Amino acid sequence: DEDLALVDRDDADIAHEAALEQVPVVAVVGRPNVGKSTLVNRILGRREAVVEDVPGVTRDRVAYDAEWSGRRFTLVDTGGWAIDAKGIHLRVAEQAEIAVELADVVLFVVDAVVGATDDDAAVVKLLRRSGKPVVLVANKVDDQRFEADAAALWNLGLGQPWPVSALHGRGSGDALDAILDVLPEKSAVFGAYARGGPRRVALLGRPNVGKSSLLNRLAGSDRVVVDDVAGTTRDPVDELIELGGKEWRFVDTAGIRRRVHQTRGADFYASLRTQTALEKAEVAIVLIDASVPITEQDIRIVQQVVDAGRALVIAYNKWDLTDEERRHYLEREIERELVQIPWAPRVNVSATTGRHMDRLVPALETSLDSWDTRIPTGRLNSFLGEIVAGHPHPVRGGKQPRILFATQASTRPPRFVLFASGFIEAGYRRFVERRLREEFGFEGTPIEVSVRVRE
């Protein structure tokens, strides 16, 4: 059933090349229904080549390979974001903030006919703060009658509004030219949509667990190369650090090395920083202070890594401060709090004494290998055949749903799709997931198992 492969390999290759060339990134940002997706299709000339479905925290963000006047760029559509319990206002701003963070140029789309709303105003604020170049598109200007509505958007303070009808194509060429005027040759947000190059590591953890101490310890003094990304107010800085004979890219280290100016709640920024770092990273080291009880925030950060679908290593720091009693309690806390994640490699370290620093790289490599793993379809199905024969799904209402076959839809992280003859219970799905881990390992990576029912 290889024909059921759900990911187009060729498109993944395009993404890979684009990343190596550091093709600049243009993010399309705006409220729902202003016409972002329509505009994206317009720009792509309806080629609609999906380059990479960006996994994780924001599943709805999709990157495309685009071109205008001979210039290539990655076009990121944030169109499909969902309205959730938090309320649309925060959600829009939050989504936009992440997209902006990961872009070289922002295409901000406003519905000219509706005019600027409070949500638009919230986005404008964060666009200003980001310092990124913005091209303002006044959309739905289908004919000349709406030109005045477009002109009214001057007062957003983002410069010239470009009147466009994404639906009919009117004005879109001029807006694209405006993008090219501010598009850098090379992307400064390398990593977010990248593949290839040194492996990208996010160093995460709540305040005071020892992130900057660990970074300093790993970097030593002379081997650090600071890859400074200019022109942004928040200066995300990546550091290339040589460890175990290889280069590693530690992403967004500025937020670790110095406290970022906080205008909103510290929690909001901490979690946003974690998210953006995760988006850029392939693997995360979550640092937990071993000398004090595990906190809710520690657990939340670990969960964020899992939700983002990134490889994971847990490092228990300040080991030098633990005594036998504390270590006893720590093991109980781990059993209680992290029971869902027994698969994450664990290292007990001390940034202060340098204890077990040499164990971090093997742990990172183990997790990344698992993250990259592809199980051949034949092997996957013969294994599933065995476990299904040994442990069939329970009969419900006189029916017994069967798993017909499975395919691995993606790597990074490994995602499996089970095709079934009927509804598969969550408990049974977890059973399959557990058996997959037992058989294939996947140490250090989250895996995903989803079910499609076939009529």
Point out the annotated binding site for GTP.
Answer: 30-37, 77-81, 139-142, 205-212, 252-256, 317-320
Q: Which residues bind ligand GDP (CB under 6 A)?
A: 30, 32-38, 79, 139-140, 142, 165-167, 205, 207-213, 256, 317-318, 320-321, 350-352
Report the distance separating Cα 307 and Cα 302, nearest Å: 9
The amino acid sitting at 295 is: T
Cis peptide bond N-terminal to 413, omega within 30: yes
- Which of 111/282 has CB closer to ligand GDP? 111
- Which of 95/165 has CB closer to ligand GDP? 165
**DSSP track, 390-445:** HSPPPPBTTB---EEEEEEEETTTTEEEEEESSPPPHHHHHHHHHHHHHHH--TT-
CB of 348 to ligand GDP, least distance (A): 10
- Which of 35/444 has CB closer to ligand GDP? 35
**DSSP track, 132-164:** --EEEEEE---SGGGHHHHHGGGGGSSS-EEE-
- Which of 35/133 has CB closer to ligand GDP? 35
Report the distance separating Cα 438 and Cα 322, nearest Å: 32
CB of 112 to ligand GDP, least distance (A): 9
CB of 5 to ligand GDP, least distance (A): 28
CB of 257 to ligand GDP, least distance (A): 8
> What are the two backbone dihedrals, phi and then psi, of residue 247, each rounded to the nearest 5 degrees?
-90, 140
Helix (H, G, I), strand (E, B) or coil at 311: strand
CB of 201 to ligand GDP, least distance (A): 15
- Which of 34/100 has CB closer to ligand GDP? 34
CB of 111 to ligand GDP, least distance (A): 8
Q: Give the residue from 43, 81, 98 showing the smallest Cα distance to 65.
A: 43
Report the distance separating Cα 212 and Cα 34, nearest Å: 42
CB of 209 to ligand GDP, least distance (A): 5
- Which of 6/321 has CB closer to ligand GDP? 321
- Which of 54/209 has CB closer to ligand GDP? 209
Q: Give the residue from 344, 346, 343 showing the smallest Cα distance to 330.
A: 346
> Which residues fall in the annotated binding site?
30-37, 77-81, 139-142, 205-212, 252-256, 317-320
Q: Are 174 and 43 in contact (CB under 8 A)?
A: no
- Which of 220/231 has CB closer to ligand GDP? 220
Report the distance separating Cα 39 and Cα 165, nearest Å: 8
171-177-179-184 Cα dihedral, nearest 10 degrees: 170
Q: Are 439 and 411 in contact (CB under 8 A)?
A: no
Query: Which strands form 71-77's sheet, in the order they lie side by side?
Result: 50-53, 62-68, 71-77, 25-29, 105-111, 134-139, 161-163
- Which of 12/167 has CB closer to ligand GDP? 167
Q: Which residues of 210-245 are buried (b: 16+ CB within 10 A; e: fewer)?
A: bbbbbbebbbeeeebeebebeebebebbbbbbebee
Residue 168 CB-density burial (10 A; 0-12 exposed, 13-18 middle, 19+ buried): middle
The amino acid sitting at 383 is: F
- Which of 320/369 has CB closer to ligand GDP? 320
Query: Which strands form 415-420's sheet, in the order they lie side by side?
Result: 403-410, 415-420, 448-453
Tokens at residue 364, please? 């990172």
CB of 395 to ligand GDP, least distance (A): 44
Query: Using the 8-state DSSP alphabet, how is residue 321 labeled?
Result: G
CB of 71 to ligand GDP, least distance (A): 24
CB of 383 to ligand GDP, least distance (A): 41
Supply the angle between the helices 266-280 and 88-101 in degrees, to the nearest 10: 50
